[in-house]
Amino acid sequence: MEYVLGIDGGGTKTAAVILTTDGEILGFGEGGASTYGVVPLEDTQIHIAEAVDRARQRAGISAFPFQAAFLGLGNVVSEADRQAIRQIAQALGLADVDKIGVDHDIRVALAGGLSGKPGIALILGTGASCFGLNAGGKTWRSGGWGPLIDDGGSGYWMGIQAMHAAVTAYDGRGAATQLTSLVMETLELETMDGLMNRLYAQNLSRSEIGNLGKLVFSAAQKGDQIALKIVQQGCDLLAECVFAVARKLEMDASQCEVALVGGLTRAGPIYLDPLMNAIGSRLPGCNVHLADMPPVLGAGLLALQVLHPTLPGSIFQKIQEKSKRTSFDQVESFVIL
């Protein structure tokens, strides 16, 4: 029997899946974070190896190399980035060099989110980014330029907005909001003055800031007007990313598919309803829905396409049906806030 390997690597964890070449899902595994440029390359290699080894153990196989492998990692956008990850895959002996595919994590999110079909994927996690593929094979990415200059609407962005609203309300520059007390409680601050030490001296991490994003949804659900405004602003920023991709790929006048992928989708209607409305107002003909499958299975599909660029529909259907009966609780590739 022959096998392929899919890898989805992000800032929280790395997920691996092993499939047979006819589309049977054999095993999943997890490792540590592997986002390129954020995690040192040596750690990226270690964490990919961890995920692959655990997937092999669960699948009950020891075969190396795989017939093909596809690695989708965060921040992999240039050819130099791809080459660095390809060298890691070669060093680990994952597959022959001409059978190794490498790209950014949004591509595997799209492949899983729309079961290999053309369309647009919007990643909603600690970071945020958008990627599209049209029927002619042309691709475009929008957003995802990182927390310093972009990532509007992401969990990190929401967390920053939560703290901004809290301190401006506290010192009298902004309207009163539940976020003041929620931020203090979550960060275990006796007074708001302790925030500066927690944020700067103790170096509040990206994931910790992203975790504050859920406070915005909590306050919004209770009718907090400041929180509701933050949610709407974030949804508008994300919708602009989707519209930019659709326009660039000449999909803005068509009935394109848009898949929502990532941990923020678990926020529920308080977030998804205004987000879908914001996208729909800019792209009236689009169909916005949650992802068909997690990104790691998208990586598996792309690994299969390294071998066979035109896969029969039966394989897509088999993987999609199997994914519905599979628990991803222990190998979740979405960013969890």
* Residue 335 covered by a domain: no
pLDDT-derived band at 337 (thresholds 50, 70, 90) equals very low
pLDDT for the residue numbered 50? 97
Residues 152 and 278 in one domain: yes
Model pTM score: 0.87
Q: Do 210 and 318 have their domain in common?
A: no
- pLDDT at position 144: 87
Task: Single out the residue of 55, 101, 122 nearest to residue 272, CA to CA.
Answer: 122
81 in any annotated domain: yes
For residues 282 and 162, membership in a common domain is answered with: yes
Mean pLDDT of 272-292: 96
If asked whether residues 296 and 221 sit together in one domain, one would say: no
- Confidence (pLDDT) at 175: 97
306 and 246 together in one domain: no
pLDDT digits (tens, 9 = 90+) for 155-165: 999 999 999 99
Could you tell me if 172 and 41 lie in one domain?
no
Residues 270 and 151 occupy one common structural domain: yes
Looking at the fold, whether 109 and 54 belong to one and the same domain comes out as yes
- pLDDT reading at 336 higher than 70: no
Q: Residue 14 maps to which CATH number?
A: 3.30.420.40
Asked whether residue 173 falls in the same domain as residue 202, the answer is yes
pLDDT tens sequence across 203-259 = 998 889 999 999 999 999 999 999 999 999 999 999 999 999 999 999 988 889 999
- Indicate whether 217 and 313 sit together in one domain: no
77-111 b/e (C-beta count within 10 Å ≥ 16 → b): beeebbebbbebbeebebbeeebbbbbbbbbbbbb
Tokens 């079909």 — which residue? 117
Mapped to the 3 state alphabet, what secondary structure does 59-97 carry?
HCCCCCCECEEEEEECCCCCHHHHHHHHHHHHHCCCECH
Tokens of 9: 């690597």
- Same domain for 150 and 282, yes or no, is yes
Res 152: pLDDT: 95
Domain span at 142: 117-291
The residues, ordered by sequence, that sit 6+ positions from 126 with a Cβ below 8 Å of its Cβ are 11, 12, 154, 155, 156, 206, 207, 210, 263, 335, 337
